[in-house]
Structure 1
Amino acid sequence: MDSITAILVDDEISNLKGLQRKIEKLFPVIKISGAFQKPEEAIVAINKEEPQILFLDIEMPRMNGFELLAQLKNVNFQVIFVTAYSEYAIEAFKKSAIDYVLKPVDNEDLVNAVNKALNLIKLKNESDNNSKLVSLLEENIANNNKIVVPTKKGVSFIPQDEVLHLEGYDGYTKIHLIDKTTIMSSYNLGKFEKLLNSKFFKCHKSHIINLEKVRHFENEGYVVLDNTYRVPISKANRKAFLSLFK
């Protein structure tokens, strides 16, 4: 794992230095970019540096830990409260802290709390990287007339000519292929609508069809694809659909 940035906040200098020594000894991967006794100075540094972990004392003069969090622009990091008061624990979790450590800080408690934070950071980084990868693939593959389909097993690259029909429901999309197989994707139908070329037509709020596979239009409100596959078409879309074949 790459180095992880952290900021420490505690109004007592002995606690601050003691915690810093423990973190540096137990977690060389963590780079402490700042240690602050004054909450006001900490707020400026946190907003500027955007650390990945914040070790935060709760009981401080002028401003407690919860009040400090409330003044930050974004709380896009893991919070570990360090406190002498166990009754704060429940409220700490309600404030989205992943854990808390009681003073005097026990090494085992600290290791458990930090490991939770590191695991969450890793999961977030993997999720962000996967999203960036999929976006990049979509951009590069669009010119080749393929669609990128994230699935439970990975990512599929489907030539658009092999897509017969896309069916959306409950936020997911089932992709029906010409070989009669299907692929389920976590993308909603609206996402695919933006990725498909002009050969596709949204005939219903829950259905997109490949116009090259259309064989019949049925007056009762269906489009037949490849002579056997029937897809509903809404009344609102029938006129636009038929105009495509004039």
Structure 2
Amino acid sequence: MKILIIEDEARIAKRIERMTRNFFDKDLQILVCDSLENGLNTIENNPIDLLLLDLNLNGEDGFDILQAFVAHSFQTIIISAYTDKAITAFNYGVLDFVPKPFDENRLAQAFMRFTVTGKQSGGDTQFLAVKKAKTIRLISMKEIRYIKGAGIYTELHLSDGRIELHDKSLEALEKLLPETFERIHKSFILSWHEADKLIVEAGGKYSILLKNSEVLPVGRLKYKEIRHKLI
């Protein structure tokens, strides 16, 4: 696993690196950058799994990095004293916002959100960003009917019938989504607002009818849970 730390204060960067190594396996590659320019160049030239980002980089704005790479496949944890920017950061789809000053327990909580599979509680993300050519569009969660896994990518199926591709996997997006979304199948996450009724088919197969008349499959292990929620 490869982790990038972007932090302009060397003392804090070393502390973050130490805490990161304490939490994760020894078999870990950590890259450290102390400026906005170095961070941008490193991400351009290195596939990473997790970004630990400060928002104030020698007076430069760490949000420039979020805007440049918001639709990429890696997850981002903000470590910053600028707590007033937390809501904006979550709107860009960050996994967690760790306020400075922080301790090892708080950082470990953020790392747990990264390592644990499945939907996380308290997701504050209101938008998902998709990148086309050199432009980025923030798609409101209210526009999304369901999300379909497509290998290492995902398809965002929107209320107007359009399909947008996202670079994050279904598993990665599941950690960011609010409580109104539910994993109904290994390949599908559904917005509950779109659900109409559960269908039991011959042979023990299950599916769910959406309000727009589309039908999505339901996993056998998810059937009882979904049935209970739709009653």
TM-score (norm 2): 0.51
Distance in 1 of aligned mates of 2:119 and 2:26: 13
| Alpha-carbon distance, 1:50 to partner | 2.0
Partner of 2:69, secondary structure, is coil
* Residue 71 (1) aligns with residue 65 (2): no
Higher relative contact order (CA 8 A, sep 6+): 2
What is the CA-CA distance between 1:104 and the residue it aligns to? 2.4
Call closer, same or farther: CA 1:99–1:153 in 2, change over 3 Å: closer
* Residue 83 of structure 2: aligned partner: 86
Structure 1 runs (4+) deviating above 4 angstroms are 120-123, 126-129, 172-176
Query: Does residue 9 of the first structure (1) align with residue 31 of the second (2)?
Result: no
Check the 8 A contact 1:47/1:73 in 2, yes or no: no
Higher strand share: 2
1:67 positional shift: 0.9
Query: Of the two, which has the highest radius of gyration?
Result: 1
- Residue 39 of structure 1 is matched in structure 2 by 36
With over 3 angstroms needed to count, the CA separation of the structure-2 counterparts of 1:28 and 1:66, relative to structure 1, is: same
Instruction: Mark the runs of 5 or more structure 2 residues left unpaired by the alignment.
Output: 121-148, 155-183, 187-195, 209-213, 216-231
Q: Out of 92, 97, 102, which is 2:99 matched to? A: 102
The unaligned stretches of length 5 or more in structure 1 are 132-151, 155-169, 190-246
Deviation of residue 90 (structure 1)?
Answer: 1.5
2:205 is the alignment partner of 1:183: yes
Q: What is the TM-score of this pair, normalised by structure 1?
A: 0.48
CA distance in 2, matches of 1:70, 1:104: 25
* Residue identity opposite 2:36 in structure 1: P
Alpha-carbon distance in 1 for matches of 2:101, 2:27: 21
Distance change >3 Å, CA 52–CA 41, structure 1 → 2 = same
1:116 maps to 113
Pairing partner for 1:19 from 3, 6, 16: 16
Q: Distance in 1 between matches of 2:185 and 2:88?
A: 39
State the Cα distance separating 1:71 from its structure 2 match.
Answer: 2.2
By how many angstroms is 1:92 displaced?
A: 1.4
- Give SS of 1:117's match: helix
Are the structure 2 counterparts of residues 116 and 73 from structure 1 closer, same or farther at C-alpha, using a change threshold of 3 Å?
closer
For the 8 Å contact 2:3–2:48, the answer to whether it is kept is yes
Alpha-carbon spacing, 1:127–1:45, altered in 2? closer, same or farther (3 Å): same
User: Which whole-Å CA distance do the structure 2 matches of 1:37 and 1:89 have between them?
Assistant: 21
Cα distance change of structure 1 residues 100 and 64 upon mapping to structure 2, 3 Å threshold: same
Q: 1:183 to 1:26 in 2, by over 3 A?
A: closer
Output the CA distance in 2 between the equivalents of 1:23 and 1:48.
22
Deviation at 1:39, TM superposition (A): 1.6
* 1:53-72 correspondence runs (5 A): 53-61=50-58, 63-72=60-69
Cα distance in 1 for partners of 2:60, 2:118 equals 28
Indicate if the aligned counterparts of 2:23 and 2:108 stay in contact, CA closer than 8 A: yes
The CA deviation at 1:61 is: 3.0
CA gap 1:26/1:73 in 2 versus in 1, 3 angstroms: closer
Instruction: Give the share of equivalent positions with the same residue, in percent.
Output: 23
Map 1:185-224 onto structure 2 (within 5 A): none
Aligned length: 147
Q: Which amino acid aligns with 1:40?
A: E
Rounded Cα–Cα distance in structure 1 between residues aligned with 2:71 and 2:24: 25
Contact (CA 8 Å) 1:59, 1:65: kept in 2 or not? yes
